[in-house]
Amino acid sequence: MGLEQGWKLDSSYSLLPEVFFAEAIPEKAVSPEVVLLNKGLAESLGLQVEELNPETLSGNEIPDGAVPIAQAYGGHQFGNFTMLGDGRAILLGEQLTPSGERIDIGLKGSGPTAFSRGGDGLAALGPMLREYIISEAMHALGIPTSRSLSVTLTGNDVLREDVLPGAVLVRTSSSYLRVGTFQYAAARQVTEDLKTLADYAIERHYPDVATEDNRYELLLESVIERQAALIAKWQLVGFIHGVMNTDNMTISGETIDYGPCAFMDVYDPATVFSSIDVNGRYKYGNQPGIASWNLARFAETLLPLLDENQDAAIIIAERQLKRFGEVFEREWLKGMRAKLGLLDEQPEDDTLSKELLLIMKDAQADFTNTFRALTDESAEQPNWFSEDAFCEWKNKWETRRKQQVATIEESYDVMRFSNPSVIPRNHRVEEAIKAAGNGDFSMLHKLNHVLSSPYSYSEQQVDYTTPSDSSAPFRTYCGT
């Protein structure tokens, strides 16, 4: 079933020891209706868009080659470790794409699993639309991410604070191997299972190191580098994940699990949106430090594989963990240079970048629109651009740009490819979701279209560049 739709599913994950997953059966959708379909993603996966149907995209029909399972993992949630697993997600398998990739295909909101911990395993329409919007916007921004193939109304009710329409999201990723997957293996204290998992992760994501004697150290090094680069990209666009638990950090270096995430308007390192993050553990300014902490937990799981002598293994792990700060600072500064149109490297660039951010914080400046205004002088210029502190900084910046070999035109070209004109503004996302909940998807389609080309600086984007005029703090929710 499903061959006419282009499915070419394999299930290598189900060949791991059975402790890493449990069989799962999607709950039947009583009247499935596809309300969002990502045609471009479908085509890249080798799927026949015209043949895809609500029965398959809701989980009512299982394509040939699929082995529906829920993945087991552990995780530090707000600093506290617990054994977890996919409570409302079912992995169907890995699509073998025309380009030779192996892409995980999964259902989210498809009913309870062995790891639901008393939950219903379902999802309401709003949070699934939100994940679709944000994950696809992240992809368009050039940030490694899971992606969204479709959202399907199930016809089933979901009970939260109110009775809400149920929906299933079909999402994709290069894999859903997490730091928490390794924590789960380590907690069981079966070294052979841990080794099998590590070898599988290397085969999926870092095959170049598979034959090296120190491949587990190289696995740690590779994951650290990818995560450091990922978090730098988050910081450079003002993205706040909101729930950076270790079970939400991937081995591949992709962004996953879009729950209480949002993009920052006013620049402030203390910005936090998540309703459950009452102490600001995962606020914007903490994200690099939290990522480093999470990677330390990953390193701990690998100690038995790094060296038979634990003291020697700890030395190896600590040596690699020091790389996080170095890689993050390098990638962040590389990104800031691009945002400021600096095509070469000078020692003062770090200071120049951080001075601007301090001025922006004092001015309560909009993060995205500040860089948009620097990039496009025809855009509306903030009032604080006339203040002494900014004028002094701007003189330094212009002097610095004139010192490089690149022309001013080349400098602006780099800036245009580094500073998005639009981001998923929180109020725009919410109004589109609200309208869709009332049966009007036009606003959502238009928003997705605008967000699909964030660096185009087109006229149609102007209406989407304005932050909310509400003085109330914006709050996001997990949707569970």
247 flagged as catalytic: yes
Is residue 1 classed as helix, strand or coil in its secondary structure?
Answer: coil
Residue 124: Cβ-neighbour burial (10 angstroms; 0-12, 13-18, 19+): buried
**CA quadruple 179, 181, 187, 193: dihedral, nearest 10:** -120
Other C-beta atoms within 10 Å of 315: how many?
A: 13
- Max Cα separation, the chain? 68
Is residue 430 classed as helix, strand or coil in its secondary structure?
Answer: helix
CA 291/CA 411 separation, integer angstroms: 32
Q: For residue 21, what are the β-bridge partners? A: 71
How do the residues of the chain divide into helix, strand and coil, expressed in percent and rounded to 5? 45, 15, 35
φ/ψ region of 93 (left if φ > 0, alpha if ψ in -120 to 50, else beta) reads left
Find, among 313, 22, 20, 70, the residue nearest to 188 by Cα.
20
Q: For residue 103, what are the β-bridge partners? A: 95
User: HSE-up of 84 (CA within 13 Å, CB side)?
Assistant: 23
CA 197/CA 214 separation, integer angstroms: 16
Find, among 241, 218, 219, the residue nearest to 231 by Cα.
241
CA 253/CA 134 separation, integer angstroms: 17
Q: For residue 153, what are the β-bridge partners? A: 33, 167
Is residue 314 classed as helix, strand or coil in its secondary structure?
Answer: helix
Q: Which of 104, 247, 265, 366 is catalytic?
A: 247
DSSP states along 322-355: HHHHHHHHHHHHHHHHHHTT--S--TTHHHHHHH
Positions annotated as catalytic residues are 247
